[in-house]
Amino acid sequence: MTGRILLKTALFFLIWMALSGKFNFLHLTIGLGLSLGIAWLNTWPLTGDKMRVSWVGVLTYVPWLFSRILASSIHMVRLILDPKLPIDPQLFGHQTSLPHHAAVVLLGNSITLTPGTITVEVSPNELTVHSIDPASSNDLLSGTLEKKVATVFPSQPRMKA
Amino acid sequence: MGGPRRRMATTIAIIFLSLGLFFLLVAAIGMVRLPDVFARAHAVGLTDTMGAFFMLFGLAIYEGFSLNMLKILVVFSLLYLLNPVVTHATIRAALRAGVKPWMKGPS
């Protein structure tokens, strides 16, 4: 426990020094105090369950999500600038069977981050999504987004809701 | 304006900043044109993602490799982590307060 706190403190302190770029007494003591405090806060259990994250999954997921965000942004610009304003908003529930709370959170955040779709309500099994037109929710309805999220959190048994 | 390298960086930065401004402008137009809270939140999402991305990317190129570029990257990643949370909270509050989403069709 203490070892973990010290390790995290050292890491945060390094980041502090890199970002502040000042090495006088005042900056270093403030940085050390904050690093220690944040490292201590970090030991509080937030979810209570362990998770495994595939870093390869993360490194492929982020660029993919970004390309989707770019594509739907352009779609959104077209919708807004169209003189007829051809929007068709819908509110629908989406069942999900992702293994972990963190995975559902990532799915919900990805949906909200993509222009054109917003997660309105979240539960471990279902997301309520508002979309501005049917084309915006294609990725979600076809299950592509969920499959990509699953690659970030590999092979874990489904936890109880 | 420095050497040709510096001038090129400035040109690229201006192009990216203009792209970002374009997305911000469209988001502002969307705020006015769209019918209700929910639809407007989608327009604001444009600012959060593409607008902020192109603006920060332009600034990072203008700065070149320096401490400030690292700081811009930190701002960028924090923005992408926090924005969906805020948007989600706002929209959920609207729905729970009883705002009815605007739907297409005769109503």
Domain count, chain A: 2
How do A126-131 and A90-95 pair as beta strands? antiparallel
Are residues A7 and A59 located together in one domain of the fold?
Answer: no
Query: Between chains, do B38 and A130 touch, taking CB under 8 Å as contact?
Result: yes
Are residues A32 and A62 located together in one domain of the fold?
Answer: no
- For chain A, list residues with pLDDT below 70: 1, 46-51, 155-161
Are residues A140 and A66 located together in one domain of the fold?
Answer: yes
Residue from the list A77, A120, A121 with its beta carbon closest to the beta carbon of B26: A77
Does residue A127 contact residue A96 with C-beta atoms inside 8 Å? yes
Q: A113 CB near a chain B CB, below 8 Å?
A: yes
As given in the structure block, the two tokens for residue A120 are 């309105």
Query: Between chains, do A118 and B26 touch, taking CB under 8 Å as contact?
Result: no
pLDDT of residue A134: 86
pLDDT of residue A156: 57
Question: pLDDT digits over A50-77, tens only?
Answer: 667 888 989 999 999 999 999 999 999 9
**CA A10 to CA A32: how far, in whole Å?**
9
pLDDT of residue B104: 79
pLDDT of residue A160: 46
Contacts with B, A 30-89, CB within 8 Å: 69-70, 73, 76-77, 80-81, 85, 87-89
Are residues A66 and A145 located together in one domain of the fold?
Answer: yes
Q: Per the domain annotation, does A160 fall within a domain?
A: no
Query: Between chains, do B102 and A89 touch, taking CB under 8 Å as contact?
Result: yes
The end-to-end CA distance of chain A, in Å, is 29
Q: B100 CB near a chain A CB, below 8 Å?
A: no
Query: Between chains, do A118 and B67 touch, taking CB under 8 Å as contact?
Result: no
Are residues A128 and A102 located together in one domain of the fold?
Answer: yes
Are residues A12 and A85 located together in one domain of the fold?
Answer: no
Are residues A25 and A70 located together in one domain of the fold?
Answer: no
pLDDT of residue B11: 93
Residue from the list A21, A76, A113 with its beta carbon closest to the beta carbon of B83: A113
Residue from the list B34, B71, B87 with its beta carbon closest to the beta carbon of A118: B87
Q: A115 CB near a chain B CB, below 8 Å?
A: yes
Predicted ipTM? 0.85
Are residues A116 and A59 located together in one domain of the fold?
Answer: yes
Q: Per the domain annotation, does A50 fall within a domain?
A: no
The end-to-end CA distance of chain B, in Å, is 59
- Amino acid identity at A34: L
What DSSP character marks residue A137?
Answer: G
Nearest Cα to A145, choosing from A76, A88, A67, A49?
A67
Contacts of A110 in chain B (CB under 8 A): 84
pLDDT of residue A49: 61
- Per-residue confidence in pLDDT tens, chain B, 107 aa: 568 888 888 999 999 999 999 999 999 999 999 888 999 999 888 888 888 999 999 998 888 878 888 888 888 889 988 999 999 999 999 999 988 888 877 65
Q: Per the domain annotation, does A49 fall within a domain?
A: no
Q: Which domain holds residue A24?
A: 2-41
pLDDT of residue A150: 87
Q: Which residues pair with A127 in a beta bridge?
A: A94, A122
Contacts of A121 in chain B (CB under 8 A): 92, 95
Provide the H-helix boundaries in chain A. 2-20, 25-41, 55-81, 101-113, 138-141, 144-152
Q: Per the domain annotation, does A121 fall within a domain?
A: yes
Are residues A20 and A79 located together in one domain of the fold?
Answer: no
pLDDT of residue B93: 93
CA B71 to chain centre: 18
Q: Per the domain annotation, does A139 fall within a domain?
A: yes
As given in the structure block, the two tokens for residue A159 are 């936890």
